[in-house]
Amino acid sequence: MKLLRYGAAGAEKPGLLAADGTIRDLSSVVGDIDGAAVTPEALARIAAIDPITLPVVEKVERYGACVARPGKFLCIGLNYADHAAESGLPVPAEPVVFMKATSALSGPNDPVIQPRNSTKLDWEVELAFVIGTECRYVDEAAGQAAIAGYFVCNDVSERAFQLDRGGTWDKGKGCDSFGPIGPWLVTADEVGDPGDLSMWLEVNGHRYQDGSTRTMIFKPGFIVSYLSQFMSLQPGDIVTTGTPPGVGMGQKPPKYLSHGDRIRLGIQGLGEQEQVVVAPI
């Protein structure tokens, strides 16, 4: 299934992309696409419904973030061997973990807001997933089974905030609009092998990232197992898993985003996003 949220920011409704390409309103079935809607039991209830019986959404002006109100927005850094090489850093022995603020979440086609004093605004196409089953100290197999579905994430990053100003990475990762997710959440049963998906990102029509999850160091099931050793994971928690090479920081010379730049990105089977960079409010 492909689940989504549509409508004005703050007033999104839950929806489903049917096999015939129509969007169907799920409001009579679930209140939102959130932690309560991505448990195995809730997904089974949605899957049992014939989409034809649901109202058609005639026109979608905007897609919202495909998961609402996550308790955590967890991220794995340097998780592609070729991206670590591009960054001039060794392949990590264990996953590099950081967090984005949940307020960074935005719709897949919402503008990217360049923060005040930003000088090194960067892009990262990433495979993300949402937890469907609570996890504590789980093994890799249970970790894989706990994933409800996958989606595209642009891990927008401000490298000067992240790397040049001391402390942790978080302040360069959690600015408003730095977490576009969607356009839809594709349930795990429909994705197949998340370790074999092509992924790409373009800026102003030029393709900078053209990679695959095949070069991922730590796979999704292992990531869930690893994280569960340090914190419990609840349904609705989001995890994004790192990026292949081709980020702006890795260009020679480095290239960063500025107002008016247009970003397009996508992952095989998970859809595409498009954002325009705008000035801060």
pLDDT in tens, 181-238: 999 999 999 999 999 999 999 999 999 999 999 999 999 999 999 999 999 999 999 9
What confidence score (pLDDT) does residue 83 get? Answer: 78
In the predicted model, residues of the chain with pLDDT beneath 70 are none
Q: Half-sphere exposure (CA, 13 Å, Cβ side) for 152?
A: 32
Which residues does 189 contact at the CB level (< 8 Å), separation at least 6? none
What confidence score (pLDDT) does residue 3 get? Answer: 98
SS3 sequence of 162-200: HHHCCCCHHHHCCCCCCEEECCCEEEHHHHCCCCCCEEE
pTM over 0.75: yes
How far is 106 from 98, CA to CA, in rounded Å?
19
Domain spans of the chain?
2-57, 73-278
Q: 73-278 — its CATH code? A: 3.90.850.10
